[in-house]
Structure 1
Amino acid sequence: MTELQLGLVGPAQSDDLYHFTGRNGDRPSWVPADIQQMTAQQRLERILKERRFRAFAPFGARTACVCFSESPADHLGHLIRTGRFSPWGVVTSRASLLSIGGGAVAYVPDTVYERFKGAGLEHWAVRTGNGSVWMHEREWRLPSSEEGRGIGGLRAILVGDVSWRPTTVVVGWEDGSTGQPLPGPEGNPFAQPVLELPRLWRESQVWVWDAGSGQLVKHAPGVLC
């Protein structure tokens, strides 16, 4: 695949795109209740375990999308301090999202939004009329089926607590009496699961939001395992 040439990124822009699992506010009623009731940490944990994003249609749209916010460091702090989002989620890049069909949404007047909607492209636009105050999200979207999309081009995992770890997952089986690996639990009374932190956690950078300093502390892969 040819590498995308994106040109310059200015200080008001960012190559970091955040998929927050802790957006504070209303959610579309068509998002399943079990997902709506999860904490930000639980949603992040599911993404890390399943290695995919679930997708749902945003407000005013019919096409399911995975949503991201373009956030330079200062803007990220603004979103968190104002309570718009909590510091939990995953981070990718503009190039990664563009390479798989994602892109930035257009913020347009109501009359222009209706033209997007008439063309079946309302998921690529957010209206800016009365009662619509979403420009702070600097939103990007990745259209997807409702089954979601696998995670590719992951830049980092965002957490709000340096002591937090996702629940371990089963990565294999072993004989508890000998420590020898097994193909599965069947036929051995001493079989026990081998548990590890999810692969994405072990192999990704982890960015921790430090509420005291209002800064990100970036840890190399494996440091917080």
Structure 2
Amino acid sequence: MPEHIRIMTPQQRLDAILSEGVLRAFPPFGVDFPCACFSESTPEHLAFLVKNWKVKPWGIVTGRGSVFRLGGGAVAYVPDDQYEKFKRLGLGHWAVRVGANSTWMHEREWRIPRKSGAIRLEGLRAILIGDASWRPSLVETEEWINPETGEPCQGPGEAPHARPREDYPALWRESAIWVWDDKSDTVIKYPPGALC
């Protein structure tokens, strides 16, 4: 993973994902093939990850069907000898090695392998945030406004100083928002558009 992404906070990473509308795939630990990685989590499992593993509650929520449509699937958790077989077949990115001291089992990982490194996002189940007051950065839309009047216009041809109208990213406006609540150790769910 590039250093400029590694040093981002979870909020900054989510902001970039929402603004760009894509996930970037990078090789997971011990693998050379780029993948976007997900943890399968029920609300109870999410509470375990946040409380016990100190996972930050910032990210996107999607369903299995979406992962399958993008060429992804569940990772196999296998012992060393089976892991080596996966690697020999060029499928090491589909397996996680487990042993007596394994700390990976809590993830219930799913991956979307992607050589190009970019995965266009559509139809998210939800966006998970850890602070109810947080909002993503505004992005330019394809609509124009006259900055002098604030009214919509057709662009610079109609108003010389016209500029693109800004709004929250489409993924934010069109997805449910789940806000992590530390007091109840669960999420509070808001319908699409409620936190715009």
Return the offset for 1:154.
1.0
Aligned to 2:96: 126
Aligned to 2:161: 190
Return the offset for 1:192.
3.2
Give the counterpart of 1:152 among 114, 122, 141: 122
Instruction: Quote the Cα distance in structure 1 between the aligned partners of 2:100 and 2:125.
Output: 36
1:37-71 deviation line (CA, Å, top 9, x unaligned): 10000100111011110000111112110000111
1:92-149 deviation line (CA, Å, top 9, x unaligned): 0012211221111011111110110011000000001255420110000011124311
**TM-score, normalised via structure 2 length:** 0.92
Contact 2:122 2:171 in 1 (8 A): no
Choose between structure 1 and 2 for higher RCO, CA contacts under 8 A separated by at least 6 residues: 2
Contact 2:123 2:175 in 1 (8 A): no
Give the counterpart of 1:89 among 46, 59, 69: 59
Return the offset for 1:187.
9.0
Return the offset for 1:189.
4.5
Instruction: Quote the Cα distance in structure 2 between the aligned partners of 1:146 and 1:58.
Output: 15
The count of residues paired between Structure 1 and Structure 2 equals: 194
Letter in 2 for 1:112: Q
Return the offset for 1:191.
2.3
- Residues 70-89 of structure 1 mapped to structure 2, 5 A cutoff: 70-89=40-59
Letter in 2 for 1:108: V
Moved over 4 A (4+): 185-189
Contact 2:60 2:124 in 1 (8 A): yes
Return the offset for 1:35.
0.1
Instruction: Quote the Cα distance in structure 2 between the aligned partners of 1:40 and 1:180.
Output: 35
Structure 2 regions of 5+ residues with no counterpart? none
Change (3 A) 1:92 1:180: closer
Instruction: Quote the Cα distance in structure 1 between the aligned partners of 2:153 and 2:112.
Output: 40
Contact 1:56 1:146 in 2 (8 A): no
Structure 1 regions of 5+ residues with no counterpart? 1-30
1:139-185 deviation line (CA, Å, top 9, x unaligned): 000111243110133100000011100011111322223424133x5
**TM-score, normalised via structure 1 length:** 0.81
Instruction: Quote the Cα distance in structure 2 between the aligned partners of 1:61 and 1:35.
Output: 19
Give the counterpart of 2:14 among 39, 44, 61: 44
Return the offset for 1:188.
5.1
Letter in 2 for 1:39: T
Instruction: Quote the Cα distance in structure 2 between the aligned partners of 1:139 and 1:186.
Output: 51
Give the counterpart of 1:99 among 69, 75, 79: 69
Contact 2:26 2:117 in 1 (8 A): no
- Residues 2-13 of structure 1 mapped to structure 2, 5 A cutoff: none
- Residues 186-225 of structure 1 mapped to structure 2, 5 A cutoff: 189-225=160-196
* 1:76 aligned counterpart, secondary structure: helix
Higher deviation after alignment, 193-202 or 205-214: 193-202
* 1:98 aligned counterpart, secondary structure: helix
- Residues 103-182 of structure 1 mapped to structure 2, 5 A cutoff: 103-129=73-99, 132-171=102-141, 172-178=143-149, 179-182=151-154
